Amino acid sequence: MHPDDSPEQKQTETPPTGRTTDVASAERTIGRHRAPEPPRRGPLASTSARIAVATGVTCCLGLVAVVGARDIGQRHEPVREVMADRAAAAAEAEQRASRDFERTAPPVAVPVTPVPAATPSPKPTKKAPRKPVRPKRPRPVAGLDQRQMDNAKVIVDVGRDMKLPRRGLIVAIATAMQESNLYNLASDVLPESYDYPHQGSGADHDSVGLFQQRPSSGWGSVAELMRPAYAARAFYAALLEVPGWADLSITEAAQTVQVSAFPDAYAKHEERATTVVDALI
């Protein structure tokens, strides 16, 4: 301060020490009107710090990428193998196709269906006549064997065909039992009789067959009398010629037809003959 200045001038002109008198500084010193201070720099404000952080982040990201890539690679390894196999198969197929393309195709055999030749329509064939049903053989009764029972059946069948009553059938069976024991016999006197089916032989003159009828007496030829059915029919025809034969005894009726040397021999066969007839009718 100049020595010539007044005390008031000296007091007003002397600025307080340590303070500025500019407007900006004055505004910063008063309460809520204080001006914001400039931002302070943190630890990353410097360039070197930023570079260090960026480097660290980059390293971390790289490590994560490597680990992730390894994991993905491990998970997709089977897919790669499948893709590689498909590529190899496709290449092989293409190469084979190119080789096959150069070859000539083998001839294809086309099946030919033969056309059948026209055949004439078959001629109508006549139906073969039915074979007669062979009757079952009767079961033997009254002590007879199968051959005797078969012959008895022939005698009974012929008599029923001729409409004879049961009494006439019994007379015929009893007569055949006495004459031939119900066997179809040839004769030693007639060698011809052996030319026909027979079941034994006899020697009573020229008598043959079931009823021992004699060809010399007019009963028929040797061939006819050796047939049981013919012999039975000849006997029934002669019985029907006897008057009142149905009222006669078995012995009287049989003896009238046969004219046997033993007229009473027929009666002993009546019971057995009745049993046989009852079994066959």
Beta bridge pairs of residue 97: none
Q: Is residue 165's pLDDT more than 80? A: yes
The residue whose two tokens read 């004055």 is: 26
% of residues, the chain, pLDDT over 90: 47
Beta bridge pairs of residue 202: 187
101 pLDDT tier (thresholds 50, 70, 90): very low
Q: Is residue 279's pLDDT more than 80? A: yes
Q: What is the mean pLDDT of the chain?
A: 76
Q: Which residue has the higher pLDDT, 113 or 183?
A: 183
26 pLDDT tier (thresholds 50, 70, 90): very low
Mean per-residue pLDDT, 248-260: 91
Q: Write out the DSSP string of the chain.
A: --TTS-HHHHHHHSPPTT---SHHHHHHTSSTTPPPPPPPP-TT-SHHHHHHHHHHHHHHHHHHHHHHHHHHHHHTHHHHHHHHHHHHHHHHHHHHHHHHHHSPPPPPPPP-PPPPPP-PPPPPPPPPPPPPPPPPPPPP-TT--HHHHHHHHHHHHHHHHTT--HHHHHHHHHHHHHHHTT---EESS-GGGGGS--S-EE-STT-BTTTTB-GGGTS--HHHHTSHHHHHHHHHHHHTTSTTGGGS-HHHHHHHHH--S-GGGGGGGHHHHHHHHHHH-
Residue 69: the pLDDT is 47
- Mention every residue, 6+ apart, whose C-beta is less than 8 A from residue 177: 269, 272, 273
Residue 58: the pLDDT is 57
Half-sphere exposure of 37 (CA within 13 A, CB side): 4
112-160 pLDDT, tens digit each: 566 666 666 666 676 777 776 666 789 999 999 999 999 999 999 999 9
Whether pTM > 0.85 for this model: the answer is: no
| Rounded-to-integer distance, Cα 280 and Cα 194, Å | 29
260 pLDDT tier (thresholds 50, 70, 90): confident
Q: Is residue 98's pLDDT more than 80? A: no
- Mention every residue, 6+ apart, whose C-beta is less than 8 A from residue 99: none
42 pLDDT tier (thresholds 50, 70, 90): low
Mean per-residue pLDDT, 224-228: 97
